[in-house]
Every structure is written in structure tokens, then in C-alpha cells.
Amino acid sequence: MSKTTLFDLDGKIAFVSGASRGIGEAIAHLLAQQGAHVIVSSRRLEGCQAVADAITAAGGKATAMACHIGEMEQIQQVFASIREQFGRLDILVNNAATNPQFCNVLDTDLGAFQKTVDVNIRGYFFMSVEAGKLMREHGGGSIINVASINGVSPGLFQGIYSVTKAAVINMTKVFAKECAQFGIRCNALLPGLTDTKFASALVKNDAIRNAALQQIPLKRVADPGEMAGAVLYLASDASSYTTGTALNVDGGFLS
Ligand SMILES: NC(=O)c1ccc[n+]([C@@H]2O[C@H](COP(=O)([O-])OP(=O)(O)OC[C@H]3O[C@@H](n4cnc5c(N)ncnc54)[C@H](OP(=O)(O)O)[C@@H]3O)[C@@H](O)[C@H]2O)c1
């Protein structure tokens, strides 16, 4: 009996935003390990280049490209580069997000509100629009939106961030419904508390971490690598009949 090829990504071009560290870095490594040429992206090129070099050193294929997803011109520029260098895109992982302010919702700062909306909603939306246009030209593709458990159950003092993550779950369904006719699938990943720089304020504080663990049936915080397998499933032919779904990878938090 031969092993399944359902999870193979040979010949695929994949773009991962926020891939210079954390969950995005783990996703970039796994997609490359399965054969994809991964475009490693974040605001700062150096961090992306380091990840791309590590992938290449391990025998994979990767290219670093800087893109601030909160800046519309940079989205246009990065897709012009993808078109020029690769001519196609098969997988988009919208992973880069921001959460600049922890506060009671009544203290929300307008600047923090605007930044969170610009990156987490407008950024994901127009990255998907540009990717979708390229995918449509080549018969399809897979878009994976990294949302959050906060999109279903808002985190305390993470008001506008939680609102944007709920929008991402709805956005996933919008693209799934309207782009299925082009062979494009769109799904969301809802990570639970994961040990990254993003969550360090929560994970490193004993009181906050212990309170969070009370609500997680698996009684631990996730490692970033534990998010990557679910993304591989959604990126590959293993999920060929799955679109518009929100996949919880949360240690049972939302159950
Ligand atoms: N960690 C958790 O507990 C947790 C839980 C639920 C959901 N999530 C979600 O998981 C995703 C990844 O989070 P993470 O924990 O891995 O965060 P992280 O370790 O802080 O990494 C964030 C990545 O995004 C990049 N980035 C930040 N702002 C950007 C922007 N405007 N444009 C482009 N790239 C940007 C960063 O690089 P640069 O600084 O170079 O731009 C970095 O590569 C996010 O969508 C987050 O909401 C995380």
C-alpha cells in the first residue's frame, strides 16, 4: 500500500503573511516541507529572509518579500512582484494581524481602532481579492484566513481585535460562496492561545496564563507548530470538499 499524496504541495506557490516568526513561520516551514515554493512575507524583509534561508538550507524552496498588509500600495506592489516572478499563486495564508491595545472597550483609542481594522479586515480582504484574481486565471486555489477563537468568544480587553476576527470568519464565508465557481476554496483557522510574541503578555503572566488554562480542556498553551497541520489540510487536496469552514484548533476552548 502506498502512502497518500493528498497532502503533497509539489509545484504549488504559497504566500504566507506574517511568516517571519510565530504561527506564520511554522506554517511556512510545513508548506515548504510538503513541496510548495513559499513566499515568506511580513513588514520587515530581514526576518523573512532569515526564515526563507532556513527553508532553503533544509532543502525547500522559499522567497522573501516585504509587505505591510495595512498599506494598500504595498498589497498592490507585492502582487505585481508575485505575478512577475511566479505568474501564479495557489495558496494564500492570511496570517499577519495586529492587536495594538489591551483595554476596556470604553477606552478604545481611535488610532488603535483604525490600525486594527486596516490590517485585520482591509488587509485580509484585499490580499484575498488580489490572490483570488490570480487564482481565477489558473483554475483555482486555496485561501486560508488565520482568525481566532476571539472571533467567536471575545477576549477580555481585546474588543476591536475580537470584532475584526469575527469579521474574518464572515469574510471567509463570503469568499467561499462567491469564489467556489472559480475553483477557489476559502477557510478559516481559529487558533487558541499559542506561545508566540503576539501572546507573550498573556502567556508569560502567571495569573493570566493560569486563568486561561482553566478554560482549556487540554490544560496547556499551543506550540505554533500545532497550528501548521490544520493549515496544511486546508491548503492541500485533502480538504478538496471543504470551503467556508472555521476550524477550531484551541485545545477544546470553544467546545
Ligand atoms: N498567538 C496566539 O495566541 C493567537 C491566538 C489566536 C489567533 N492568533 C492569530 O495568529 C496570527 C499570527 O499570530 P502570532 O501569534 O504568530 O504573532 P507573532 O508571533 O507576533 O507574529 C506576527 C507576524 O506578523 C507580522 N506582521 C505584524 N503586523 C504586520 C502587518 N501589518 N503586515 C504584515 N506583517 C505583519 C510580523 O512580522 P513584522 O513585524 O516583520 O511585520 C510577524 O511575522 C494572527 O492572525 C493572530 O491574530 C494568535
Q: Is the pLDDT of residue 208 over 90?
A: no
Residue owning the nearest CA to atom 7 of ligand 1:
148
Alpha carbon nearest to ligand 1 atom 1, residue: 194
Ligand 1: centre distance to CA 88 (Å): 25
Question: Which residues have CB under 6 Å of ligand 1?
Answer: 17-24, 42-44, 47, 67-70, 95-98, 119, 146, 148, 191, 193-194, 196-199
Q: Tell me the C-alpha to C-alpha distance, in Å, between residue 21 and each of 49, 163, 216.
A: 11, 24, 24
Of 38, 56, 160, 49, the closest CA to residue 109 belongs to: 160
Q: Locate cell 532556513: which residue?
A: 54
pLDDT at 246 over 90: yes
Q: Cβ contacts of residue 127 below 8 Å, gap of 6+?
A: 17, 69, 75, 92, 94
The 8 Å CB, 24+ separation contacts for 108-114 are: 108/159, 108/160, 112/160, 113/160
Q: Given this model, what pLDDT does residue 66 score?
A: 98
- Ligand 1: residue of 51, 126, 196 to mutate (most ligand atoms within 8 A of CB) is 196
Cα(4) to ligand 1 centroid in Å equals 32
Q: In the annotation, is 233 catalytic?
A: no
Whole-structure pTM value:
0.98
Q: Please, what is the average pLDDT of the chain?
A: 97
Which of 56, 10, 69, 66 lies closest to 29 in space, CA to CA?
56
- Condensed to tens digits (0 to 9), the pLDDT of residues 16-37 reads 999 999 999 999 999 999 999 9
Instruction: Among 43, 115, 116, say which to mutate for ligand 1: greatest number of ligand atoms within 8 Å of CB.
Output: 43
How remote is the CA of residue 1 from the centroid of ligand 1, in Å?
Answer: 40
> How wide is the angle at C-alpha 209 spanned by C-alphas 151 and 224, nearest 5°?
60
Query: Which grid coordinates are listed for 54?
Result: 532556513
CA dihedral 201, 202, 206, 211 (to 10 degrees): 160
CA distances in angstroms from 38 to 28, 29, 252, listed in the order given: 6, 8, 30
If one residue of 41, 44, 71, 95 were mutated to test the ligand 1 pocket, choosing by the most ligand atoms within 8 A of its CB, it would be 95
| 84-102 pLDDT per residue, tens | 999 999 999 999 999 999 9
Instruction: Answer yes or no: are the C-beta atoms of 143 and 185 closer than 8 Å.
Output: yes
Active-site residue, from 124, 161, 233, 241: 161
Residue nearest to atom 17 of ligand 1 (CA): 198
Rounded distance, CA 144 to CA 90, Å?
11
Place of cell 503533497: 8
Instruction: Name the nearest CA neighbour of 192 among 224, 145, 157.
Output: 224
CA of 120 to the centre of ligand 1 (A): 10
Mean pLDDT to the nearest integer, 169-191: 98
Kindly state the average pLDDT of the residues 198-222. 92
Sign of CA dihedral 255, 175, 166, 27: positive
Which pLDDT score is estimated for 104? 96
> Is the pLDDT reported for residue 241 higher than 90?
yes
C-alpha 29/C-alpha 51 separation (Å) is: 8
d(CA 233, CA 236): 5
Query: Whose grid coordinates read 508575485?
Result: 82
Residue-wise pLDDT for 125-177, tens only, equals 999 999 999 999 999 999 999 999 999 999 999 999 999 999 999 999 999 99
Residue 181 CA to ligand 1 centre (angstroms): 31
Strands 246-249 and 184-191: parallel
Q: What is the pLDDT of residue 221?
A: 96
Of residues 124 and 201, more confidence is placed in 124
